[in-house]
């Protein structure tokens, strides 16, 4: 396999939710691997700021505004990409919207559930459908969906501080994304389009956001349950991403690559 700085040379890759914690990691990783990265998120200004953080002035970082939950926004985005670049080699479905953590199954407001579903499920469908049409014409492409261990198993609620164990909508959405991945792989394979998912376990975010991962007692309980004894460092998901995008994974489709330190093995 080529060195990382040549691995994705000449590839045009769309990242949704690029300015989020994991999206930022992915965007930097893809850029460093030689790809042209289309940085998309709700606010163009945030995408421009991310470009400046990664490499000011680089022609391989292209900020674009995109609301995947709005069909008109998706259509406009696709038309702009066609006009500027002509093709899309890969799509990283990474955008996610979270609901208030202090609502549980019994108190979850329906409007919050519907709002998160619009992004996490409906939006993923809309952008995937639009990009798959381009890839079908190209007879090539790769789609990677960001899943979660909570799409594979439910969360262990005994580990979480009060108010942080409420993953009702998240388990619902991520479980659906994983089976959608399998459906897409079965449907699009004849067009030489590979579709896979990456399901991270707990990630140690300490600087940007971080949520429950910043709670030391939670981390202690979480780490004790993981065979490798710790949460992932933010850059430890990058290897799975690079592998599934590379030619080394040319015969892999419909797979969910779990990166969880062994969490789901026990």
Which residues are catalytically annotated? 170
SS3 content of the chain, % helix, strand, coil (to 5): 50, 15, 35
- Nearby residues of 79 by Cβ (< 8 Å), 6 or more positions away: none
Token output for 185: 């792989």
Count of helices and strands (H, E) across the chain: 8, 7
What is the C-alpha to C-alpha distance for residues 188 and 182, in angstroms, rounded to an integer? 10
What is the CB neighbour count within 10 angstroms for residue 75? 12
Distance of CA 91 to the CA centre of its chain: 9
Reference 135, options 178, 67, 184, 181; nearest CA is 184
Token output for 60: 């391989």
Reference 236, options 226, 247, 250; nearest CA is 226
User: Where is 15: in which H helix or E strand?
Assistant: strand 12-15
What is the C-alpha to C-alpha distance for residues 23 and 253, in angstroms, rounded to an integer? 22
The three-state secondary structure class of 122 is helix
């Amino acid at each position: 396999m080529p060195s990382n700085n040549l691995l994705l040379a000449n590839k045009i890759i769309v990242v949704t939710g690029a300015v989020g914690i994991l999206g930022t990691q992915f965007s930097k990783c893809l850029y460093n691997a030689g790809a042209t990265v289309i940085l998309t998120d709700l606010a163009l200004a945030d995408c421009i700021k991310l470009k400046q953080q990664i490499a000011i002035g680089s022609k391989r970082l292209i900020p674009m505004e995109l609301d995947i939950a709005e069909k008109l926004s998706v259509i406009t985005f696709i038309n702009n990409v066609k006009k500027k670049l002509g093709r899309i080699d890969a799509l990283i479905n990474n955008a996610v919207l979270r609901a208030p953590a202090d609502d549980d199954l019994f108190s979850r407001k329906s409007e919050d559930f519907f709002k998160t579903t619009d992004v996490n499920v409906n939006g993923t469908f809309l952008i995937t459908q639009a990009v798959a049409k381009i890839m079908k014409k190209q007879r090539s492409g790769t789609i990677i969906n960001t899943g979660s261990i909570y799409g594979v198993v439910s969360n262990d609620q005994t580990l979480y501080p009060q108010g942080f164990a409420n993953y009702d909508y998240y388990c619902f959405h991520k479980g659906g994304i994983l089976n959608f991945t399998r459906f897409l792989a079965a449907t699009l394979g004849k067009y030489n389009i590979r579709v896979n998912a990456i399901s991270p376990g707990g990630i140690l975010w300490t600087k940007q956001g971080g949520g429950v991962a910043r709670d030391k007692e939670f981390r202690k309980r979480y780490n004790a349950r993981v065979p490798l004894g710790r949460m992932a460092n933010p850059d430890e998901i990058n290897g799975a991403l690079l592998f599934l995008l590379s030619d080394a994974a040319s015969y892999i489709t419909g797979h969910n690559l779990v990166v969880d330190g062994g969490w789901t093995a026990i």
